[in-house]
């Protein structure tokens, strides 16, 4: 980066003592925290304005430091935008007599949702044009589209702040009228009963944002008269409502990280009483679907660590009645299942790779779909129809653009409905190499790293490499195609995705070994992958960059405290870095539901362990790599003050002259900007940061 006279802001220090278990921590930057009311107030009080002024001063410093790169950043944005088919559309899917389509028009930021009756040649009916709906908003998100059984009405959800607190409204698709019914502070999801006038929806706690209550609303009645049908009182659980694919049962689910519970009600009887399927039991998880006279359950019952499929009669649903359909396997994680009239479809993961298994109910056939690449991603989705031989799935890899494929489970033919177009005339699949290597972790485990790079890139200690990971909540980042990533690969970068513990890449135990009191395995796995890549001449510490977001941002904070010398640059997006303070404050959104992931620091054993890796608490007087930290002012998942305080403390203590930049999107939350082009601009900023560090740019 070019030198500049710009001076970074120095945050005021206002020491606040925090005492727990006899341990005293001093937080000099606790004052940066604002409540939602303060953030959203039309007139800001002096303290609120002080915090906003600090964040804007950091933004101003970021802009001045990166000013000389603006032309390249714009060039990069246009390059990324140029690969996207702007007037694009999803593959239509059929549901209850209509084909549904989401499409984009050239130059427009937001989607248009439409449908066609019975056949694709029918006249298009535009249900929602989000480009029109979003006018006047800095952030706008439409979600939760849910069509009534008679196809006449649609529930839709909107979020204009980016805190994932959605308003629910109902639109008459025949007349275009949007009804007066407005339901606030919901998750955005809803379920229609079969009477076409009753909907069930989930309300959030207005302070903690925990999904805690299920309500029933009848069309045309005041929302003040909505009936609370369920209240999840356990603060470590959330709740949701859905409907079975058979459309026969409305299901209320309660969930924590380690336990679940379901209740069911016939969708023809919306005012009836929900019945508990199986009362919650510690460490028992089950997800439910319905088929004929049975419920089917994806569960870890009987210590089935990698899950199995069981069934139980609708009339006898408790634990003692469950019987195996697909037994547990030590080497295969059962991730999901889909039910069709003639077929059962299973989504499995073995040795880190997705597999799709198709099994006839009459047991005449049982086979896997064939996939040939060494690393790839496949997922079954968009299959609302029950009585069909066709299963739709998506397939892509690091080198193969996303394809939507319809597979006939009867005659085993497949129809590629669409392959993602990469415009610009430069992309050729054969120009890129993808492979998987296994890095030894310090405790003897092997950690997979998926790699992709241009065939002309020479692999040596001078090769720039961006290493990415997440490593929490059991979420496994897929080895998927990215058009934006091409801007790095075409400039000589290697991209490495590390499948560290905390994900379920190698099964459920891989997750269990990277959470709670095993959390540090996530961080050391990432570091050991970095050391492997350096030792095997894929790169060197001078050219190694790391990136992660949210819980992956915690990972970035941890590795920079443990091994800052390994990396030339770090991008920490919306990073969860003040772990101990957040997990001690149950008024902060979503905290209580996280105890089973990180541990409850009200217990001293967990307090000591979390504090020992919490990035904010472990900042020390030493040299740190170049760092770009990003956040959103309205983030409900990781509050903006965590990265803001972290940057302030780093500025106070770090001993190096490396760059430290904080960029706060003052109009967005956890997911960043809402428009598709605005999101690309944020990616262009991130990539410009590491490309500039790599000295690829001209002065």
Question: Could you say which of 482, 503, 550, 636 is catalytic?
Answer: 550
Helix, strand, coil percent values for the chain (each to nearest 5): 25, 35, 40
Residue 635: active-site member: yes
Q: Say how far apart CA 695 and CA 259 lie, in whole Å.
A: 50
Other CB atoms closer than 10 Å to residue 23's CB: what's the count?
12
SS3 string, 139-176, reads CCEEEEEEECCCCCEEEEEEECCCCCCEEEEEEECCCC
Q: Say how far apart CA 680 and CA 405 lie, in whole Å.
A: 27
| Category of 84 on φ-ψ map: left (φ > 0), alpha (ψ -120 to 50) or beta | beta
Question: Could you say which of 635, 636, 674, 686 is catalytic?
Answer: 635
Contacts from 263-268 at CB under 8 Å and sequence distance 24+? Answer: 263/230, 264/288, 264/295, 264/317, 267/193, 267/194, 267/243, 268/193, 268/194, 268/195
Q: Say how far apart CA 572 and CA 577 lie, in whole Å.
A: 10
Q: Say how far apart CA 664 and CA 59 lie, in whole Å.
A: 7
Token pair listed for 110: 């937001």
Using DSSP bridges, classify how beta strands 249-255 and 286-291 pair: parallel, antiparallel or unpaired. Answer: unpaired
In eight-state DSSP terms, residue 272 is S
List, in sequence order, every residue forming a beta bridge with 438; answer none if it has no partner: 448
CA 123 to chain centroid, in Å, comes to 35
Cβ neighbourhood burial of 270 (10 Å; 0-12, 13-18, 19+):
buried
Residue 184: active-site member: no
Helix ranges restricted to H, 425-482: none
Identify whether the C-beta of residue 496 lies closer than 8 Å to the C-beta of residue 534.
no
Cβ neighbourhood burial of 674 (10 Å; 0-12, 13-18, 19+):
buried
Question: Could you say which of 290, 328, 543, 670 is catalytic?
Answer: 670
Residue 670: active-site member: yes
Q: Say how far apart CA 32 and CA 639 lie, in whole Å.
A: 11
Alpha-carbon torsion angle 500, 504, 510, 512, nearest 10 = 110
So which residues are the catalytic ones? 550, 635, 670
């Amino acid at each position: 980066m070019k030198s500049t006279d710009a001076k970074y802001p120095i945050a005021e220090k206002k020491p606040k003592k925090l005492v727990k278990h006899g341990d005293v921590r001093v937080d000099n930057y606790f004052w940066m925290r604002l409540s939602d009311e303060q953030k959203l107030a039309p007139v800001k009080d002096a303290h609120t304005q002080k915090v906003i002024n600090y964040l804007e001063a950091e933004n101003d410093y970021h802009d001045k430091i990166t000013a000389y790169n603006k032309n390249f950043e714009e060039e990069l944005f246009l390059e990324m935008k140029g690969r996207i088919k702007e007037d694009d559309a999803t593959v239509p899917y059929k549901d209850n007599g209509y084909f549904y389509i989401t499409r984009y028009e050239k130059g427009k930021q937001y989607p248009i949702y439409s449908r066609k009756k019975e056949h694709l040649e029918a006249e298009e009916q535009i249900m929602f044009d989000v480009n029109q709906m979003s006018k006047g908003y800095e952030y706008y998100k439409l979600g939760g589209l849910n069509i009534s059984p008679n196809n006449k009405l649609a529930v839709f959800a909107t979020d204009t702040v980016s805190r994932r607190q959605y308003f629910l409204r109902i639109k008459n698709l025949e007349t275009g009228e949007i009804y007066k019914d407005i339901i606030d502070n919901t998750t955005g999801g809803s379920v229609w009963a079969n009477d076409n006038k009753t909907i069930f929806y989930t309300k959030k706690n207005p302070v903690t944002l925990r999904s805690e209550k299920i309500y029933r609303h009848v069309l045309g009645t005041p929302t003040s008269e909505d009936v609370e049908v369920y209240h999840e009182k356990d603060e470590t659980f959330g709740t949701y409502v859905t409907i079975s694919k058979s459309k026969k049962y409305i299901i209320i689910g309660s969930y924590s990280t380690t336990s679940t519970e379901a209740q069911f009600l016939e969708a023809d009887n919306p005012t009836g009483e929900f019945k508990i399927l199986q009362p919650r039991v510690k460490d028992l998880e089950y997800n439910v679907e319905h088929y004929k006279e049975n419920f089917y359950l994806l569960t870890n019952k009987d210590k089935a660590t990698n899950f199995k499929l069981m069934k139980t009669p609708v009339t006898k649903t408790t634990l003692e009645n469950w019987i195996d359909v697909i037994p547990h396997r030590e080497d295969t994680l059962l991730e999901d299942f889909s039910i069709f009239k003639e077929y059962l479809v299973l989504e499995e993961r073995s040795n880190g790779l997705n597999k799709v298994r198709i099994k006839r109910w009459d047991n005449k056939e049982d086979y896997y779909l064939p996939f040939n690449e060494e690393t790839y991603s496949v997922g079954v989705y968009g299959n609302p129809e029950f009585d069909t031989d066709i299963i739709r799935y998506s397939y892509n890899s690091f080198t193969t653009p996303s394809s939507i494929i319809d597979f006939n489970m009867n005659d085993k033919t497949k129809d590629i409905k669409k392959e993602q177009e990469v415009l610009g005339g430069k992309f050729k699949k054969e120009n890129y190499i993808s492979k998987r290597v296994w890095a030894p972790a310090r405790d003897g485990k092997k950690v997979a790293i998926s790699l992709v790079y241009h065939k002309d890139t020479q692999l040596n200690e001078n090769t720039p490499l961006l290493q990415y990971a997440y490593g929490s909540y059991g979420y496994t980042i897929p080895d998927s195609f990215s058009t934006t990533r091409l801007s790095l690969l075409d400039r000589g970068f290697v991209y490495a995705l590390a499948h560290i513990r905390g994900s379920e890449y190698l099964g459920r135990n891989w997750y269990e070994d990277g959470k709670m009191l095993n959390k540090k395995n996530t961080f050391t796995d990432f570091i050991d992958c970095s050391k492997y890549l350096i030792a095997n001449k894929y790169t060197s510490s001078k050219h190694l960059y790391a990136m992660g977001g949210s819980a992956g941002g915690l990972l970035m904070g941890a590795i920079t405290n443990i091994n800052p010398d390994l990396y030339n640059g770090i991008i920490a997006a919306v990073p969860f870095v003040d772990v101990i303070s957040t997990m001690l404050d149950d008024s902060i959104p979503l905290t209580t539901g996280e105890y089973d992931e990180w541990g409850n620091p009200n217990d001293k054993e967990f307090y000591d362990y979390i504090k020992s890796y919490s990035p904010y608490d472990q900042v020390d007087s030493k040299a740190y790599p170049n760092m770009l930290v990003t956040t959103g002012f309205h983030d409900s998942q990781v509050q903006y003050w965590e990265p803001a305080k972290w940057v302030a403390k780093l500025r106070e203590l770090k001993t190096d002259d490396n760059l430290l930049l904080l960029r706060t999107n003052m109009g967005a939350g956890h997911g960043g900007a809402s428009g598709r082009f605005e999101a690309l601009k944020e990616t262009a900023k991130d990539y410009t940061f590491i490309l500039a560090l790599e000295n690829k740019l001209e002065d």
